[in-house]
Structure 1
């Protein structure tokens, strides 16, 4: 963990730059998750963003740890966080309930919950309390930039994802104007972005997920305006959105990666088609042609 000053994430998301980034991310996630189907979906961290809003899976959960709990904008007085509506095993629900009670007692305030239609699970993101191969979709919005061990978090995501399950990762692009300003600001102790860890390059992230057996399906970049602090200046550079998407797409401030978990030796097939039985052909003796009679004298 770096000793430099860390920007408060809730305060940053309320700033013009934060609203600009979250609006783009919300739009992209709404479009992508609406086409992902299954039964279980999880969002790890960043409660300011409703990453599963347009997803139609019956069991959707928001997984929070102690670091993101204080910034959660949802509160329901007199209640406690709970597991995934009983969808996962009892151990997960029990662990979530215990940690929810612990956080409630420590903070002295009401327990925090996800939006309507979603459940809240309190746990350590590096030790997810879910069975292996039990989740169809995991969304990690800026989660890797706030964890102390991004490799371990990716391994946990790979463990709980089902074969052919999808992983969506959203992060700040270090190869952008925003990444450059963040690097320079580290020297002065006044960072521009609220990332507690160093930004992860898109190329490095691709190598990490490939090593874990994921197949990169698509990547998307966005937010090409300069890292400015006011709505007025951000508005003046609105023309850079279309230009950047066409001429320098890999230098967007934000990237979104979609990867699919592949399992070697496994091939998913559709329903088995029952073929009509083929009747065995009747067996008949082959007709023999009498050989011509030879002349004994010949």
Structure 2
């Protein structure tokens, strides 16, 4: 019997405590910490998986964990976010699309709630990797191998249609998808080798996207300029020509006499 979204998310949250899950969580948290630290605004939301505090390095005053996972501050569905249009500056989706019933609906909601120039961060499993091949052998534990594993080209097409533009992308987790710590340690050499020789074969992809609004132009401050007068001395934008003229008036009178 297929598991519902809540059950798959909870299974995945438990799986993060395993050796392989810890390996994945550590790699992703490092990427999130590096990425969110320079994103500014007023409101930031992480959808699902509060076990991974992807907002911990961000400095926005208003930060919220929402979704259907256990432990979130606000219970809601990714396909129906309880936020006003264009009200969020940063939205984070850690493996949300992997377990969403309708990933495209989640992305449409993300586009709706994000401000123009708002940022969207996504991590997901790469089906074209050793981790993708691991799905062929589910075993008794359904997580995370029963996820959607949305292919990156397809995901980028969806995001492009919604007006998102890629700022940067990265692949993580080139090690073997095994639970034995001995084999995990031995496969660490694949991190450097994979990033150099087959960069698109990482087990996880990371996307940093920005919402573009066509036809919108950011307006900066319009500074008032004072036209320069020949022979005038200008200090801090004040024309001193009249002052100098008054000061020289007595000297002109004496010369006439």
TM-score by length of structure 1 reads 0.71
Whole-angstrom CA distance in 1 between matches of 2:88 and 2:162: 16
Aligned to 2:24, the other structure's residue is in SS state helix
Equivalent in the alignment of 1:205? 155
Equivalent in the alignment of 1:283? none
Aligned to 1:170, the other structure's residue is in SS state strand
Alignment size in residue pairs: 227
Whether 1:185 and 2:137 are equivalent positions in the alignment is yes
Equivalent in the alignment of 1:23? 26
Whole-angstrom CA distance in 2 between matches of 1:42 and 1:11: 22
Whole-angstrom CA distance in 1 between matches of 2:85 and 2:48: 20
Whole-angstrom CA distance in 1 between matches of 2:141 and 2:127: 13
Aligned to 1:255, the other structure's residue is in SS state strand
Whole-angstrom CA distance in 2 between matches of 1:195 and 1:35: 33
Equivalent in the alignment of 2:75? 122
The structure 2 residue matched to 1:38, chosen from 32, 37, 41, is 41
Whole-angstrom CA distance in 1 between matches of 2:151 and 2:141: 17
User: Are 1:2 and 1:196, in contact at CA under 8 Å, matched by a contact in 2?
Assistant: no
Whole-angstrom CA distance in 2 between matches of 1:63 and 1:34: 20
Q: CA deviation at 1:190?
A: 4.5
Cα pair distance change 1:160/1:3, threshold 3 Å: closer
Aligned to 1:258, the other structure's residue is in SS state strand
Which whole-Å deviations, capped at 9, do the CAs of 1:142-198 have from their partners, x for residues lacking one? Answer: 00111101111000000000000000000111110001111x125xx6467425542
The structure 2 residue matched to 1:165, chosen from 108, 112, 118, is 118
Whole-angstrom CA distance in 2 between matches of 1:171 and 1:159: 21
Q: Aligned ranges for residues 1-298 of structure 1 at < 5 Å?
A: 2=2, 8-65=11-68, 68-69=69-70, 72=71, 120-182=73-135, 184-185=136-137, 190=140, 193-194=143-144, 196-277=146-227
Aligned to 2:93, the other structure's residue is in SS state strand
Runs of 4 or more, structure 1, over 3 Å off, are 1-7, 189-193
Q: CA deviation at 1:272?
A: 2.1
Whole-angstrom CA distance in 2 between matches of 1:129 and 1:153: 12
Q: CA deviation at 1:28?
A: 0.5
User: Are 1:148 and 1:197, in contact at CA under 8 Å, matched by a contact in 2?
Assistant: no
Which whole-Å deviations, capped at 9, do the CAs of 1:79-105 have from their partners, x for residues lacking one? Answer: xxxxxxxxxxxxxxxxxxxxxxxxxxx
Q: Which 5+ residue runs of structure 2 have no aligned equivalent?
A: 230-257
Q: Which 5+ residue runs of structure 1 have no aligned equivalent?
A: 73-112, 114-119, 280-298
Q: CA RMSD in A?
A: 2.2
User: Are 1:140 and 1:169, in contact at CA under 8 Å, matched by a contact in 2?
Assistant: yes
The structure that is helix-richer by fraction is: 2
Equivalent in the alignment of 2:239? none
Q: CA deviation at 1:123?
A: 1.6
